[in-house]
Structure 1
Amino acid sequence: MTDQQSSAAEPTQLTPMPEDWQRALAVVAHPDDLEYGCAGAIAAWTDAGREVVYVLATRGEAGIDTLAPAEAAPLREREQRASAAIVGVDTVEFLDHKDGVIEYGIALRRDIAAAIRKHKPELVITLNHRDTWGGVAWNTPDHVAVGRATLDAASDAGNRWIFPELSEQGLEPWDGVRWVAVAGTNAPTHAVDATPGLERAIQSLLEHRAYIEVLTDEDPEKYCRTFLTGFAEQLAPRFGGKPAVAFEVFSR
């Protein structure tokens, strides 16, 4: 093999996530979205004294086939709050858009921009906004809508002439978002060492037990451990041999 062929075979290395920030806001569609991808990174960040707030567009009320939405919503909210607490997140807010039929548009952008103005993050985190997961599985409309709206709202939040009604409500423009980090992407650019937070990430996902028990016949703890460990280890060759949580980072 030539040097050129050897070089071409080496995986592209991921860059460590920026660390010069103090506040992050994670915006996703459903309870469990963060636990299926980046809770391990969030655990590491809160360990370091950083503040992370969760904002969920829905309460996940359409996510359990065996439970009517009115029963599922409070259950999934409780599971999400318990899940967040395990990785050091105290504040979990819900925007109350309707699960399964979230619409990308002005109302969603406004709600997310309001959350950004309220919490003043330097880092915003969201989930895969593209049509597919790696080109092999179709993404859900909720994920696409919320991910895309979050990317847009990071700019909206800093422009006083977009959603001026927010200023009237006491939410002044916030142009301090420096990065938007997308989890669950097939085009990651950055990563965080998953090792310190991996066990808590597993326990955090396991808190969504009512959802998981309907999703799979496998033992819930085995399912969570296998899923998260497998994904973290897949990224190790691209992050100095360390299991990793990956993000596609858009700078602003």
Structure 2
Amino acid sequence: MNPLEPMPDDWQRALAIVAHPDDLEYGCAAAIAGWTGAGKHVAYLLATRGEAGIDTLEPGKAGPLREQEQRASAAVVGVDVVEFLDHADGVITYGTRLRADLAAAIRRHRPELVITLNHHDTWGGTSWNTPDHRDLGRAVLDAAGDAGNRWIFPGEGGEPWNGVRWVAVAASPQATHAVDVTDTLELGVRSLVEHRAYIKALTDQDPEDYARELLTGFATRTAERFGGRPAVTFELFAR
């Protein structure tokens, strides 16, 4: 496989937009910890509260719990702005309503870098992606352009913002870039561990053991394409 390029770092503001609590914690949060540690500002926007994500807990109880876990998780990696759009978990639908909500958020936050999760049909091979990830990711890529056009969704979120320079897609099977997480992998692990209720519904494994094993494995495999350095990957779209 081709070597991965380093992610650009000549920016100051980023907005990470994903479908569910925990989406950013399966690797990307370790990169975010490095960015915030270097003085960059990163905000989170969640399309849902993950209310349909725990089989043993009804949505009315799961949503508030998962929101609480996401805020705690974000704080571990230096993110103190976490917003939710309240689209319905599991049935996010690509369309103008979603694009308008995302464009409005981009106009409010005015990021140079927008981050989202894998929008492709699979995670690579035959591991099928979920509709929420596919539709949300594609809408993010489109909304980055919508936000800069004053005639698309006029008045939504304030003045147009055409300052998005890149959209970075985490966990893409077509990754092009990576971020060295040698110094921040442990923060990424701690960030994922904050999703205790979600992890306990997934596995009988201790949450800390689960998070460390998973994230270390991801970062170590990526190192083969990134000069031997543990890293997390992105597919980078320039604008």
Question: Which piece of structure 1 moves more, 46-55 or 190-199?
Answer: 190-199
Instruction: Give deviations 1:116-168, integer Å, cap 9, x for gaps.
Output: 000000000000001111022110000001100000000000000000131xx
1:242 aligned residue? 229
Runs of 4+ displaced beyond 6 Å: none
* 1:159 alignment partner, one of 149, 162, 165: 149
Secondary structure at 1:238's aligned position in 2?
A: coil
Structure 1 letter corresponding to 2:57? L
1:14-93 to 2 correspondence within 5 Å?
Answer: 14-93=4-83
How far off is 1:195 after superposition?
Answer: 1.1
Structure 2 letter corresponding to 1:164? P
Instruction: Give deviations 1:202-242, integer Å, cap 9, x for gaps.
Output: 00000000000010111111110000000000011111100
1:164-179 to 2 correspondence within 5 Å?
Answer: 164-166=154-156, 171-179=158-166
Secondary structure at 2:106's aligned position in 1?
A: helix
Distance 2:104 2:27 in 1: 25
1:102-113 to 2 correspondence within 5 Å?
Answer: 102-113=92-103
* 1:230 alignment partner, one of 217, 221, 236: 217
2:118 aligned residue? 128
Distance 2:118 2:50 in 1: 17
Distance 1:68 1:52 in 2: 31
Structure 1 letter corresponding to 2:237? F
Structure 1 letter corresponding to 2:165? R
Distance 1:136 1:233 in 2: 22
How far off is 1:25 after superposition?
Answer: 0.2
Structure 1 letter corresponding to 2:187? R
* 1:98 alignment partner, one of 76, 88, 94: 88
Structure 2 letter corresponding to 1:235? T
Distance 1:138 1:81 in 2: 28
Secondary structure at 2:224's aligned position in 1?
A: helix
Larger radius of gyration between Structure 1 and Structure 2 = 1
Distance 1:222 1:136 in 2: 27
How far off is 1:37 after superposition?
Answer: 2.4
1:148 aligns with 2:138: yes
Q: Which runs of 5+ in 2 are unaligned?
A: none
Root mean square deviation of aligned Cα: 0.7
Q: Which runs of 5+ in 1 are unaligned?
A: 1-10
Identical counterparts, % of pairs: 71
1:194 aligns with 2:181: yes
Instruction: Give deviations 1:87-129, integer Å, cap 9, x for gaps.
Output: 0000000000000001010010000100100000000000000
Distance 1:31 1:231 in 2: 19
1:3 aligned residue? none
